[in-house]
Each structure stands twice: as C-alpha cells, then as structure tokens.
Amino acid sequence: MAKIGSDIEQARNYLASGRVVAIPTETVYGLAANALNAEAVAQIFAIKQRPHFDPLIIHTDRMEKAFQWVEHIPETLKKLAEAFWPGPLTLVLPKKALIPDIVTAGLPTVGVRVPDHPLTRQLLASLDFPLAAPSANPFGYVSPTTAQHVNAQLGEQIPYILDGGSCRVGIESTIVGWHHEAQQPIILRLGGISLEDIEAVAGKVMLQTHSSSNPKAPGMLSAHYAPRKKVFLSLTEALQHHSPQDLGAIVFREPIPQIPMKHQLILSSKGSYLEAAHRLFAALRDIEQLPVQAVVTPLLPEEQLGRAINDRLRRAAASA
C-alpha cells in the first residue's frame, strides 16, 4: 500500500521524477502528475483505467501562474477567477502548445484551477510545473474525500498519498467555459460553487453538463460516481425490484418511513447543502457496507449546491 503522510518534500520529489502521487484539495483527493510530462500523465490514465477521451484539469497555486498555461482569458471568466480562486472553480480556456495533448484529450482547450487547500498550495508553490490531477479513484467510481479512501482503492499503484485530512467541500469543482457564439460563460459541470454564485459575478450563463462521449471537460459523462450497488432515484421504482428490508437510502434531511432506519444515511439533518455536499461521497461509500441490495437516493431541491448533488446522484443511478 502507499505511504501516507504530510511530507511535501517527499511528494515533490516523486512528482519531479515523473511519478504519480495523491494530493488533497478542498473538493476531493486528486491523482497528480507533472502536467508537462506526457509519460507521467499517461500513468494517471493507466492507474485510473480512465478513457483517454476524458480530459484532465491542471492545478497550480495562484491565478497568475494558472494563466501562464493558456492563450486567452475572456474578461468575464477572469472576473470569476478573481472572485473564486483559490476555490472549487475550474476554467476551460485555450491552451498553450506546451500542454501535452494527452492532458486535454486532443482538445485545444485546457481546464485550469487554483485549489483551496493549504498543504497542496504549498506543494504547488514549490513546483515549476502544474499538476494534472483528476479524482484519485478508479474511473467511474465514487470520488475519494480522505487519504484512506485513496489508499483502499489505489494504494497498491502509487507510492505516496499526501494526507490533508477530510476534504472540506466534498464534491468536485464547478467547471466553466466560454461559448464563443453566444459570447457568454457556459457551465460544463456543476460543482462546489453554485449556479447562483456564478451568475452573481458573471451574469446569465448557459448550462451543458452531460456528454455521452468525447466530453469537453472532466465529469461530463452521463454515467459516473457510482457505488457498487444499484441506485434508484425513486422509492416507487426501487420497490418494483426489492422489498423495503433489502433497501438502503441516502437522504438529504428526512428519512424514508418505509426503509429501516438502520439502513439510512442522512446527509444533513439541519438541511444544509454545504454539509450534504461534504458528506455525499463518503455516504456513497458507507452505504456499500450495509446489508442491502440497492440504494434509494431521492433528489434534493434544485437550488444552490442541491443542483450539483443531484447531478452526482443522477449519474450514480445511470451507472449502476
């Protein structure tokens, strides 16, 4: 299994030598490699068993460095960076030629972000290259929010996991690109910054968050984030296939009366979207340990971070 620790210098040495390590961010743990080293990036795809048509995000420690790797930044997207970096925002921008095509799946654009995690920002500040870092899990499975999650799934394939504790946000970054014909931002993936907060800075935005193949950004595939049990969004549908005693549930605030309480996980008894997002991926993992055959995950209200949580639940249901 991988060594787990908080030694930035050790992580830096592995990365500088072309190895892959896991790093914490405020969203989820990432599987990181030198984004300018195509061979190192290829290891990410091999370890995750990730299809090469699914592009990666590159990470660095501050906005000025992030913009070194892109050709052009529309003024509206720059305003978003100024408002939300460091933080759970990824911008998709025209890439410079030194970013290898394997990072961008051959696309002319690259996703860039500045994560809001002190340990990883210290690591990034010590590097003279950005890090390509998708979530540190097997492709299509639940994203990890602790070092232990990473070790359980990928620990035999990587040498080191930089342990930054439990991820504060708990779901991936919001990805925003630029729609050239409409001359306005377009959200490509819902995430840790709500649609309302994006529009408060950028004005009205477009929304395109799903793709069946050849996605423009990470996390756009319609089936993703799945535990290894069948997921139903509707109790009625689940009861067509299973008895209530065989069902588990992940609910926002209120338990489902028909399902045994011992089989239910509540994301936020106080109704907090932030708390629910923080707990979501851990709940999708924990539900696998319960003696149930399938899981019911009712959707949340379509507002604030509820939209991003619902996005993950719909994809988990499509995957199972």
Binding site, annotated residues for ATP: 50, 59, 109, 135, 143, 189, 225
Binding residues for L-threonine: 27, 113, 133, 173
Alpha-carbon distance of 225 to 56, in angstroms, equals: 16
Q: Which residues, other chains included, contact 149 with Cβ-Cβ below 8 Å and sequence gap of 6+? A: 29, 137, 282, 285
Q: Give me the helix-helix angle, 195-202 and 75-84, nearest 10°.
A: 130
* Token duo for residue 224: 């993703």
Which residue(s) pair with 249 in the sheet? Answer: 264, 296
* Bond before 118 cis per omega within 30 degrees: no
Alpha-carbon distance of 103 to 91, in angstroms, equals: 15
Q: What is the largest CA-CA distance in the chain?
A: 57
* Token duo for residue 88: 């759970």
**What DSSP assignment string belongs to 60-114?**
-SSHHHHGGGBS---HHHHHHHHHH-SSSEEEEEEBPTTS-HHHHTT-SEEEEE-
Binding residues: 27, 50, 59, 109, 113, 133, 135, 143, 173, 189, 225
Phi, psi of 223 (to 5 degrees): -115, 120
